[in-house]
Amino acid sequence: MQATLAMPAATELLPLIPELVLVGAAFFLLMLDLFLKDGQRVLTHVLAIATLLVVAALVLGGVGAGDEASVLGGMFVRDTLADVLKVVTCVISAAALLFFWPYLRERGLYKGEVSVLVLFAVLGMLLLISAGSLVMVYLGLELLALSSYALVAIDRDSRLASEAAMKYFVLGALASGLLLYGMSLVYGATGSLDLATIREAAPSVAQPTLLLAGVVFMLAGIAFKFGAAPFHMWLPDVYHGAPTPVTLFIGSAPKLAAFAMVVRLLGFGAAPLAAHWQPMLAVLAALSLLVGNVIALMQTNLKRMLAYSTISHVGFLFLGLAGGGAGGYAAAMFYAISYALMATAAFGAIVLLSRRGFEADAIDDFKGLNARDPWSAGMVLCVMASLAGIPPFLGFWAKLAVLRAALDGGMLWLAITGVVFAVIGAFYYLRVIKVMYFDEPVGEAMRPRDDRLLRVVFGVNALVLLALGVFWNPLMAWCQAAFA
């Protein structure tokens, strides 16, 4: 009898093999760091990158994936959507760690806990991506959030970083409270925490107003995690104040987890209420496009400009989600992956050109870059052109996909709004290209960074935006397969 009971438990652990490998490696590196000197901590960093790549390979290879879509009583879901997002999340997080090392080492900020915090943050993302229950959603979200707060505050001597971490923590706690309150209302209306059960119960609940109120509160929490207007107040200060590699990390991979959270909570759990929450998403999309693009036009600091541009890109992502249906979700997923790649490269450019005592985070710092370092200028041009949505770069096809999804969803006004603000938003990206190629260099000439690995990683990231712009069909097919 005992052997019979043990088999299902062991079977249910198989789909969690990638997550178990990740958490085991995180605890191992945490213990290993106790026995390493400062000069040896590159070992934990390399092992952390290797762990993320191994986890990505396990997911891509289908290790632990079986016919059963969910385990642990439906709390953990292993499907095509989860696998695609997990692979991209791990690869982008590994690339982010490559940008961490030279920046933090030069400034004496690198500690062993940095790579461990990144691994725990990625674990939170993976759990959030595979959440089949409100409990798993909250567990993954809080694990990601707590790790992110600590990463933002890693430079304890910086007033900006400390202020950013405090704002992030306080406002993040408020958003988590809104989300948790919404979940409690949904539980009160449906009597279940399981998303599949909530979906089945939603059309016939005794108190539909209570359920709808819960969905509204959850949507507010989701909008905060994305940084959508008018819940964006934390994002510019956190992006500006955090060390640039940390900004790179929290501005890229977590957007994929946040997308998964929207699909799990709204696209699946609250699908019967789509007629109510899709117009709300459309309004959030329009506000994000307006606020993000207009305020970004006035920024002189590149990190703050990219922060406000993030708000506008969230607006574009919401175009696909508001369009609804399998096509809309696939387009939004394509946009989320595209933006994660673009954000990694954009903040990576700042890391590449920064030095100890000099942060290349002002737009004027890029003046005359082509005369100083033509290779770096060319790669930054690829990044900015993709963010602006200029063909044939990846960003163009991503914007086109979500605009088409909005049209297919019957939201012509939203698609027109997206086109107008795409044109407006192109201005501040083209301004960066203009100062690199047409303005005279200002101040002391920047020496090209002699870190060959970092230059290669940045170059590959930038060129991927061009390569995927030409060969975008396989990536789109992958996203469509997730919602087939």
pLDDT along the chain (484 residues), means of 10: 46 86 94 84 91 96 74 88 95 94 83 90 96 94 95 89 93 93 95 94 91 95 91 92 94 94 94 93 96 94 95 95 92 96 95 83 88 90 95 95 94 95 94 91 64 90 94 93 88
Which tokens sit at 428?
Answer: 């501040």
d(CA 399, CA 469): 12
> Which residues in 207-239 are b (16+ Cβ under 10 Å) and which e?
eeeebbbbbbbbbbbbbbbbbbbebbebbbbbb
Sign of the alpha-carbon dihedral angle for 100, 102, 106, 112:
positive
Q: How many Å apart are CA 249 and CA 152, to the nearest integer?
A: 10
User: pTM of the prediction?
Assistant: 0.94
How many CB atoms neighbour CB 190 within 10 A? 23
Alpha carbon distance 35, 418 (integer Å): 53
In 3D space, the residue among 306, 292, 287, 413 whose CA is nearest the CA of residue 361 turns out to be 306
- In this prediction, residue 74 carries a pLDDT of 86
Q: What distance in Å separates the CA atoms of residue 46 and residue 32, rounded to the nearest whole number?
A: 13
pLDDT at residue 448 in the model = 58
Radius of gyration of the chain (CA): 22
Alpha-carbon distance of 319 to 321, in angstroms, equals 6
Per-residue pLDDT of 169-207, as tens digits, reads: 999 999 999 999 999 999 999 999 999 999 999 998 889
Span 441-454, pLDDT tens digits? 766 655 656 778 89
Q: What separation in angstroms does the CA of 32 have from each of 50, 101, 119, 150? A: 15, 18, 14, 20
For 259-287, write each residue's pLDDT tens digit: 999 999 999 999 999 999 999 999 999 99
Decide if 469 contacts 67 (C-beta within 8 A): no
> Under DSSP, is residue 295 helix (H, G, I), strand (E, B) or coil?
helix
Residue-level pLDDT at 262: 95
The string of pLDDT tens digits covering residues 327-358 is 999 999 999 999 999 999 999 999 998 887 77
pLDDT of residue 457: 92
Which residue from 121, 221, 109, 129 is spatially nearest to 173, judged by alpha carbons? 221
What pLDDT does 194 receive?
Answer: 94
- pLDDT for 447 equals 62
